[in-house]
Amino acid sequence: MEVESPGACPLKQAGDLPIQMAALPNGKRIPLLKTLLTAVCENNCTYCAFRRERDFRRESFQPDELADAVMRLWRAKVIEGVFLSSGVAGGGARTQERLIAAAEILRHRRGFTGYLHLKIMPGSEYAQVLRSMQLADRVSVNLEAPNQSRLNQLAPDKTFLGQLLQPLKWVDEIRHNQEPQAGWKGRWPSSTTQFVVGAVGESDLELLETSAHLHHGLHLSRVYFSGFSPVRGTPLEDHPALDSWREHRLYQADFLLRDYGFELEDLPFEGAGELPRDIDPKLAWARAHLIDAPVEVNQADLQDLMKVPGIGPQGARAIVSARRQERLRFLGDLRRLGIAAERAAPFVAFSGKRAAYQLRLF
């Protein structure tokens, strides 16, 4: 979606605002305002509506103006949180100072206790990253691309390691080396990133290699895959939008890497490093590995149980807990535990016996 003047959004009527229902780390969903401190940007990203060479009307706020606008919406119970970002104006460090100033006004002068997701600008300094973490419930740095080669095509003014990945490394270092009492409400914020998918020929393998490192090396809570959509007046305006199935499969695969004990080599990449679009990657793995070697429900460990379609982390824990009391014998036992038993049926056994199930005709 193209937004011509996002900086002015908080001053419009509530129905015109960029407010969306957002899922918090604890699973709660809240109305979240997404806004920019300024739509002015000195970077010239090839896909972005706010690139410096694009001709459109731009708006900016002073930090206290934005804080006051957010407070009006929060006190009116229109929103429960805010996602605060900005175009880069005067360098990443100067822009981050202004974002921090807005967050400090919200927290310490206006009494805002709602949810705050604070963007960390490319090129931010260590002290700024630390201060952002002391004010926010979540921080994020948009990597945009999985490596420097792809970033050169998407955002030629940015450096992958120095400007983008380094702040995420600092976030992880701070969480591990400093006491959480220094964070907002006595805990450090979660961290996320976002990739632009489908604009410059990156493969699923490239994206998920980087994603796996972010989850396991830097402990990011989420990696977002933003399907490319062309914007008028940018170099990629004639490039086709991403097939939504690709975005869907990337999320499925990323959750397998993050939560289900899968390794990168477990994923069913095809010749050019792409995931198949016509099948869930977990189901593809199970068909290749479990049809002739079903998982024994009464003996398998958590990791093996989670590799069965229809069984997630919660279901696997429920199985382990239930079998301490009694042996599980039928698919009905799995259903009672809240597991999608029909999906699991072809891939499990009960004390050496394959599950009895009805084959699907379609």
pLDDT for 94 beyond 60: yes
Class of domain 6-187: alpha beta
Contact by Cβ (8 Å): 312, 306: yes
Domain ranges within the chain, ordered by starting residue: 6-187, 291-354
Mean of the pLDDT values across residues 301-311? 97
CA angle 226–256–313, rounded 5-degree value: 125
Query: Chain centroid to CA 206: how far?
Result: 16
Contact by Cβ (8 Å): 125, 146: no
The CA distance from 232 to 161, in Å, is 30
- What pTM did the predictor assign? 0.91
pLDDT for 361 beyond 60: no
pLDDT for 329-346, tens place per residue?
999 999 999 999 999 999
Tokens linked to 161: 């390691």
Beta strands, E only, 42-168: 81-85, 115-119, 138-140
The CA distance from 231 to 227, in Å, is 13
pLDDT at position 36 is: 96
What is the Cα Rg of the chain in Å? Answer: 23
Three-class DSSP category at 151: helix
Q: What is the DSSP letter of 205?
A: H
pLDDT at position 237 is: 97
Question: Which amino acid does the sequence have at 82?
Answer: V
pLDDT for 6 beyond 90: no
Residue 357's pLDDT band (boundaries 50, 70, 90)? low
